Amino acid sequence: MKKTRLCALGDIEDNGSAAFVAEFGGRKQGFIAIRHGAKAYVYLNSCPHIGTPLDFTPGRFLTPGKDYILCSTHGALFRIETGDCVSGPCPEQKLTAVSIEVLDGEIFLP
């Protein structure tokens, strides 16, 4: 089965975030990618509360301290490592995580 390349790790600033669009599940979808060194976390770019994109400016998803993902629509905060909502109108909800593989500095979707 062919994997879909999302981006190179180097396309994302270390401890930063970026937005990407790729074919996934038979259709084009928006993704959030957050990089911590050689590790990356990827989620669908969709708020679990109302389904809007999360970025407040294109590709920017993190709080100023870069410790949470921030929803631009209503200020909800999500844990980077798990996507769990920790503040805002979506308690007990989480971002939709996307499993990835990091191979030779490249991020691939399954």
Owning domain of residue 91:
4-109
Q: State whether the Cα torsion 108-22-110-41 is positive or negative.
A: positive
pLDDT in tens, 34-48: 999 999 999 999 999
Tokens describing residue 69: 């993902």
Query: Which of 64, 91, 65 is CA-nearest to residue 76?
Result: 91
Helices H, strands E: what count in the chain?
A: 0, 9
For residues 19-29, give the mean pLDDT: 90
CA distance 65 to 96: 23
* CATH number (domain holding residue 95): 2.102.10.10
Q: What total number of domains does the chain contain?
A: 1
pLDDT in tens, 54-108: 998 888 999 999 999 999 988 999 999 999 999 998 888 999 999 999 999 999 9
The answer to whether 95 and 48 have CB atoms below 8 angstroms apart is: yes
